[in-house]
């Protein structure tokens, strides 16, 4: 078997070592232009030239959950696109989102500012029922996040394309359920995949439907958010703030207003990192299953876009 590795912004050596250990009889190399045809590829945002040259690939293993960058490209005919299925990401996402929700709800930024000024001052405890959290996307990550938020007794709403049942979570689905989902939420967490249907979905109309004092947590993709609309809603006071991990342009350009905005907290696309060992183990298991003609989880539906 010939396995090729073509991942932008990723140190190749540890991945090659792990893949070679999992497949001692296979050829495992970093892709170079003109390389022999490989059977499967491990990829992250590969160049079009790679896919144009590697027309015999049977499967592309994306080392992330989101496949938006990959689906923009012309793919070899009949190739399976396989996403990472959790591989240690959902617990990280649950930590990140719970931290952001709790930091906002408990006013920790305000306390930090007070402490810097040497002030010992209390704030009135807030009513938890007044902070319903809406989770957009109830897939591998969204469902874990919704369940984690329930542990803290926040009212939790979830929205997905098809109907879902999650214990303790008010679920809504499809276009018909969107309006009711938004107006039931005060804190909005975005965990949708980026597809033609979801691009720009966080805009003045949708964010304007959140309850007053709304708060946005975007941990999915930057292109979900119309950035100027967020700034306008913060300015108007309809939104209280935002925690953003993803941006339309990454790295966030130095002159971007989000860097210094007093109501916006940013992190550098780090809410749920790809964990190398877990990912290699998962990909190796799926390669073996495919070789044995068995079905695997995480095969992307290119028409649906996720």
Active site residues: 221, 269
Check binding of 271 to ligand NDP (CB under 6 A). yes
Contact between residue 107 and residue 127 where contact means Cβ atoms under 8 Å apart: no
Contact between residue 220 and residue 193 where contact means Cβ atoms under 8 Å apart: yes
Q: Which of residues 65, 81, 216, 239 is near ligand OXD by CB under 6 A?
A: 65
Measured CA to CA, the distance from residue 59 to residue 76 in angstroms comes to 9
Closest CA to 218 of 93, 306, 63: 93
Q: Which of residues 150, 256, 261, 269 is near ligand NDP by CB under 6 A?
A: 269
Query: What binding mask, one character per residue, do residues 157-186 give for ligand NDP by CB under 6 A, x or -?
Result: --xxxx------------------------
For ligand NDP, which stretch binds (CB under 6 A), given 13-21, 42-50, 228-236, 268-276? 268-276
| Interface size with ligand NDP, residues (CB under 6 A) | 30
Check binding of 28 to ligand OXD (CB under 6 A). no
For ligand OXD, which stretch binds (CB under 6 A), given 32-40, 62-70, 143-151, 298-306? 62-70
Check binding of 66 to ligand OXD (CB under 6 A). yes
Query: What binding mask, one character per residue, do residues 199-238 give for ligand NDP by CB under 6 A, x or -?
Result: --------------------xxx-----------------
Interface ranges with ligand NDP (CB under 6 A): 64-66, 89, 137-142, 159-162, 191-195, 197-198, 219-221, 245-246, 269, 271-272, 306
């Amino acid at each position: 078997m010939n396995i090729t590795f073509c991942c932008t912004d990723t140190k190749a050596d540890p991945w090659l070592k792990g893949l070679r250990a999992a497949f001692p009889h296979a050829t495992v190399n970093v892709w170079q232009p003109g390389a022999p045809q490989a059977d499967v590829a491990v990829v992250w945002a590969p160049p079009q030239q790679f896919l144009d040259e590697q027309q015999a690939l049977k499967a592309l293993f994306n080392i992330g959950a989101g496949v938006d960058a990959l689906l923009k490209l012309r793919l070899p005919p009949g190739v399976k696109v396989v996403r990472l299925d959790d591989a240690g990401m959902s617990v990280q996402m649950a930590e990140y989102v719970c931290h952001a929700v709790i930091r906002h709800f408990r006013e920790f930024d305000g306390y930090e500012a007070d402490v810097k000024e040497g002030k010992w001052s209390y704030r009135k405890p807030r009513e938890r029922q007044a902070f319903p959290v809406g989770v957009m996307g109830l897939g591998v990550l969204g469902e874990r996040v919704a369940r984690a938020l329930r542990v803290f007794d926040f009212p939790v709403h979830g929205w997905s394309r098809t109907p879902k049942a999650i214990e303790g979570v008010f679920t809504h689905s499809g276009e018909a359920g969107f309006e009711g989902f938004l107006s039931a939420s005060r804190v909005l967490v975005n965990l949708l995949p980026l597809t033609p249907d979801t691009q720009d979905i966080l805009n003045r109309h949708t964010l304007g439907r959140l309850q007053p004092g709304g708060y946005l947590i975007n941990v999915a993709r930057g292109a979900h958010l119309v950035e100027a609309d967020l700034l306008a809603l913060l300015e108007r006071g309809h939104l209280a703030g935002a925690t953003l991990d993803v941006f339309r342009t990454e790295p966030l350009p130095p002159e971007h207003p989000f860097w210094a905005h007093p109501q916006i907290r940013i992190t550098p696309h780090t809410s749920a990192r790809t964990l190398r060992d877990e990912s290699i183990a998962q990909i190796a298991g799926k390669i073996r299953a495919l070789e044995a003609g068995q079905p695997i989880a995480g095969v992307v539906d290119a028409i649906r876009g996720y």
